[in-house]
Amino acid sequence: MRVHDLPGESSLRRVLVPATPLRRMHITKVLWHHSGALIGSQADLLRLGALVRLAAASPHSLVYLPLRENVRSEAVTYWADGQGLADLVIARSDTALRPSAWPTLRSSVRRGLKVGALATMRTPAPRLQPGERQSAKEWERERHQLRATEHADTLLLSGSARAMHEVGDELHLVR
């Protein structure tokens, strides 16, 4: 991971960007038609699950995946023409990232004076095994929802640590 430290004293202190991009992954803009597509290889989907769990365990960090620059297959080009493609930001809701602040953060990461430091990150292990599902009461699911916002060609996903762990676990079950 490349770690980009942010100046100031806010609850968001760093932006994490994978040093090796998820090259076969694309995500469409989802809020225009209330549906979209996440397209990726199995390896990239498993890595995405690990990155979501990393964001869940990192209360002062966000994970940024610049996906729009990836080479497009014919299927991805079809989706891109219909809905457009987006980058992906994953952050816990307690980082208090305002969508309107994202373009400034993104430009500081892309064009910053210093390149982010390389670091190895440990992600929490998936808690679910294939065939398992967590049972939760409906009110618990409502409390721990993942929220999606779009701004500046980026899909921003945020939620509680529990919601993000659950999404990471579900992505781990992709076969």
Element (H, E) at 175: none
Q: How far apart are the first and last CA of the chain?
A: 25
The whole-model pTM stands at 0.88
One digit per residue, pLDDT tens: the chain, 175 residues?
Answer: 999 998 888 899 999 999 999 999 999 998 767 788 899 999 999 999 999 999 999 999 999 999 999 999 998 999 899 889 999 999 999 998 999 999 999 998 887 656 788 898 888 888 765 555 556 555 465 567 889 999 999 999 999 998 999 899 889 888 7
- Rounded to whole angstroms, the Cα distance separating 100 from 122 reads 30
- Rounded to whole angstroms, the Cα distance separating 148 from 54 reads 18
